[in-house]
Amino acid sequence: MTEIFISADNIVSPIGLTAAENFSQLKQHVSGIQLHQISSMSQQPFQAALFADGRFNENDQQKKYTKFENLLITSISDALSKSNIEPADKKTVLIISSTKGNISLLETEEASGSLNKRISLNTSAKLVADHFQFINQPVIISNACISGMLAMLTGMRLIQSGQYEHAVVAGADVISKFVLSGFQSFQAVSQLPCKPFDAARDGINLGEGAGTVILTSNKKYSYGVKIGGGSVSNDANHISGPSRTGEELSLAINKTLQASGIFAKDIGFISAHGTATIFNDEMEAKAIGLSGLQEVPVNSLKGYYGHTLGAAGLIESIISIQSLKENLVLPTRGFHTSGVSQPVNICSSVYKSTGAHFLKTASGFGGCNAAMVFSKQ
């Protein structure tokens, strides 16, 4: 099977504009989550990780790019600057992940046929692809909160199929009234900074940002980390409620380990989805136990970034790649006392790790689950 290497990456978030800046901030325990009072988004104050007002908004006279598209362009630009891979190469494909894209335009523009076209992810993908002069048609992945991970898996599989040699995988989401009110309607938004896996957890914080990973089959472009394998599954349980047993995420984890040619004992740490909702964290804890990983150090990065939706899988994978390279596991911000029924080794402080592999998991509405293994070369 063709090996897939990481060539370059980037994170654009409220706490940094590069992967290195973001990782440095997290090592200092800096979080982007703050209390916001924005009447156009919510009548009540809310905790979220948002960019400063006006940051990445339309910034040219033609208003060619939206905030969502500017985030993608900024992230992709930085990643490409660190790689010798060319967008115009016929063996390079662009993959974009998002859950909501330009949906916020529904709040500011009049309903029309042109608006329907403008909010289409196809429109955004073409604008971004044309900006960088990609010659291949971009691929769009939008599958709830596993979108970022599924985009990486899609890139891996397209390369392994022989269609491409390189994949530029980018994901972004912007928080708007539409997005926030949706989670509020589920009573899933915490009024305090979120507490993944903690006994006092009571919901998520949302966040906005972008992440880019450049994948390649050419080892000379690698910066020392590769994708071992990945898998997806579905609970077939409920449109918004996760599995009550964790068996389906465990299935994805076990298939990922098998595809990577390693065992549970080889995993150095787990970067969990860890949304801080009652049911998601419980389901993940059960899945981790069913997979024989209950003693492996686990963290969630939602306490730093909030839930960045279609960018979450990318941002959290990139931070974990940095952790793998520096042999340390970041703590789970907000965690104090375990609040799940199964024993899980949640990191509450910086943990030194010499492992060669880490596992990333994600789950989302509709019962979707994803798992991936990243390994040192």
How does pLDDT run across 185-195, given as a tens digit for each residue? 989 999 999 99
Residue with tokens 């465990």: 250
Is 177 in the same domain as 275? no
Is 68 in the same domain as 205? yes
- Cα–Cα dist 182/10, whole Å: 29
Domain boundary among 221, 250, 266: 221
For residues 277 and 363, the answer to whether their CB atoms sit within 8 Å is no
- Cα–Cα dist 99/143, whole Å: 7
Percent of the chain with pLDDT over 90: 93
Is 239 in the same domain as 346? yes
Is 232 in the same domain as 183? no
* pLDDT beyond 50 at 131: yes
Quick: pLDDT tens for 13-56.
Answer: 999 999 999 999 999 999 999 999 999 999 999 999 999 987 88
- Cα–Cα dist 330/350, whole Å: 5
Is 141 in the same domain as 249? no
Is 232 in the same domain as 133? no
Is 37 in the same domain as 102? yes
Domain boundary among 221, 240, 258: 221
- Cα–Cα dist 252/239, whole Å: 19
The residue segments making up the domain with residue 368 are 225-376
Which of 6, 49, 37, 42 shows the shortest CA–CA distance to 301? 49
Task: Provide mean pLDDT across the span 154-180.
Answer: 98
Mean pLDDT, the chain, integer? 96
Quick: pLDDT tens for 297-339.
Answer: 999 999 999 999 999 999 999 999 999 999 999 999 999 999 9
Residue 326: per-residue pLDDT: 96
Is 85 in the same domain as 192? yes
The total domain count for the chain is: 2
pLDDT grade for 58, boundaries at 50, 70 and 90: low
Residue 1: per-residue pLDDT: 83
Is 190 in the same domain as 251? no
Residue 61: per-residue pLDDT: 47
For residues 308 and 175, the answer to whether their CB atoms sit within 8 Å is no
- Cα–Cα dist 339/242, whole Å: 17
Is 175 in the same domain as 231? no
Is 239 in the same domain as 371? yes
Quick: pLDDT tens for 210-235.
Answer: 999 999 999 999 999 999 999 999 99
Is 211 in the same domain as 350? no
* pLDDT beyond 60 at 62: no
* pLDDT beyond 60 at 59: no
Residue 54: per-residue pLDDT: 76
Whichever domain contains 295, its CATH number is 3.40.47.10
- Cα–Cα dist 124/287, whole Å: 36
Domain boundary among 179, 195, 221: 221
For residues 274 and 145, the answer to whether their CB atoms sit within 8 Å is no
